[in-house]
Amino acid sequence: MSLSFATKSVQVNGNPYRILLQNDNGPCALLALANTLLLAPRYASEAGELTNLVQQSTVKLEDLIQILANIAIMSPGGANTDVNQLFQILPELHTGLNVNPIFNGSFEDGVEMAIFRLYNVGIVHGWIIDGDNDPIAREHVSKYSYESAQKLLLQSYDIQNGSYSPPNSQEIIEDANYIRAFLARSATQLTEYGLVHLKELLVEKSYAVLFRNDHFSTIYKYEGELFTLVTDLGYRSRSDIVWQSLKSVNGSADTFYTGNFIHATPVAKENLEQYDATGAGAAAGTTLDPTVNGGRVSNPFVGEGESGASAVHHTRQVEDDEALAKVLQAEEDDRAAANLQRSYQRKEKKKSATENEDGNSDGNVTKSRKRDKIKKSCIIM
């Protein structure tokens, strides 16, 4: 059975749209790119075929890739596009795109960035070292990307264990100490300084793709605040839930909003679809509450004319929605932190097994870089 995406009707500031929702691959780059093209007015003429496609209740992955390829070929930079390569790369946006954020707010350039340039869609991140409050740390950290930071941590480990002794050993160890501290403080791949940076970077009422926690989402700036598009399948029937605010690093201040950027409230007699921390799992008409019955509580919706407990139900639903947003963000943050820690531990355990032919301790990194060079020699644009 072919992979597919469910669709949902939403309104943004009174204008109707249809968006794509997550499947088992979660918030992938393909989804974020397509939804940005669907929502941003600047892409209305180019995205006509895509807009027609999402009028269906479900969209097949192969159909989505075909139409995105058509859009790319017809774009101003599409004349020089390698069509075969395009069809090889677009599926990677669904299964996992390897972008490499630099801790100064940019990305390492390559074929991944060329994809977004081809569609003239910006990609941003907030995994940035604070240079205002700690300029010394910024000097040591901001020049590194995530991948180069991992390589440096390996080198530092080998230096301290006597298996590697380059001329700049002290510089490597010092930079590694600052990087290790920075990664420990920013395991969610977002910092307070990064939030400020994103607000300054994005133009009012502009869309972009946000990279965070190894996931991608559509981000929008409205009245000076940041919002990410809610694409969880569990909210397919919740027409009032369109955005989630991005106000905090750990999700503690983030809440749901309508398409008109009003705090989301329950819709009368509406039933939630199945969802849990991954977007599916709870029975319809229930919500996730970490404090009751192992996380699942009955939460029926009531009509406007009902009395008695209706106000309690309404209030509880708002609280549950906000609690769910925090639970989902906290679990995502925990997963990201655990993955980061496991990645670092695995790399530090590699000593002689990772040495290359020259006896260096970064053999795996060298091989990885060779593969990257092969990929990046085939830039689309």
- Per-residue pLDDT of 163-198, as tens digits, reads 999 999 999 999 999 999 999 999 899 999 999 999
DSSP character for 241?
Answer: -
The pLDDT profile of the chain, 381 residues, written as one tens digit per residue, is 468 999 999 999 999 999 999 987 788 999 999 999 999 999 998 899 999 999 999 999 999 999 999 998 887 666 566 777 778 788 888 887 889 999 999 999 988 888 898 899 999 999 999 988 999 999 999 999 999 999 999 999 999 999 999 999 999 999 999 999 999 999 899 999 999 999 999 999 999 999 998 899 999 999 999 999 999 999 999 999 999 999 999 888 899 999 999 998 644 434 444 433 333 333 333 232 332 333 322 232 223 333 333 333 333 444 455 555 555 555 555 555 555 555 545 554 544 444 444 444 443 333 343 334 323 333 333
Distance CA 61, CA 326 (A): 30
pTM: 0.72
DSSP character for 203?
Answer: P
Domain-embedded: residue 181:
no
Torsion on CA atoms 88, 93, 94, 95, rounded to nearest 10:
80
40 SS3 class: coil
Domain residues for 84?
A: 4-127+189-257
98 SS3 class: coil
Catalytic residue among 94, 125, 140, 215: 215
Residue with tokens 């604070």: 130
Residue 307 has which token pair? Answer: 């009395």
Those residues whose C-beta lies under 8 Å from the C-beta of residue 47, and which sit 6 or more positions away, are: 37, 38, 71
Catalytic residue among 28, 94, 140, 197: 28
Kindly give the interhelix angle for 310-349 and 146-160, rounded to the nearest 10 degrees: 50
Instruction: Please report the DSSP string for 268-321 in residue order.
Output: TT--PPS-STTS--SPTTEEE-TTSGGGEEE-----TT--TTHHHHHHHHHHHH
Domain-embedded: residue 200:
yes
Clarify whether 28 is annotated catalytic: yes
Q: Whats the size of the chain, residue-wise?
A: 381
| Domains: count for the chain | 1
Torsion on CA atoms 312, 318, 321, 326, rounded to nearest 10:
-110
Q: φ and ψ at 202, to 5 degrees?
A: -80, 135
Domain-embedded: residue 93:
yes
Domain-embedded: residue 332:
no
Domain-embedded: residue 83:
yes
pLDDT of residue 77: 66
Percent helix, strand and coil across the chain, each to the nearest 5: 45, 15, 40
Distance CA 185, CA 172 (A): 20
Domain-embedded: residue 47:
yes
pLDDT of residue 111: 83
Distance of CA 202 to the CA centre of its chain: 16
- Percent over 70 (pLDDT), the chain: 67
How many other β-carbons are positioned within 10 Å of the β-carbon of residue 293? 9
Domain-embedded: residue 72:
yes
60 SS3 class: strand
Domain-embedded: residue 38:
yes
DSSP character for 236?
Answer: T
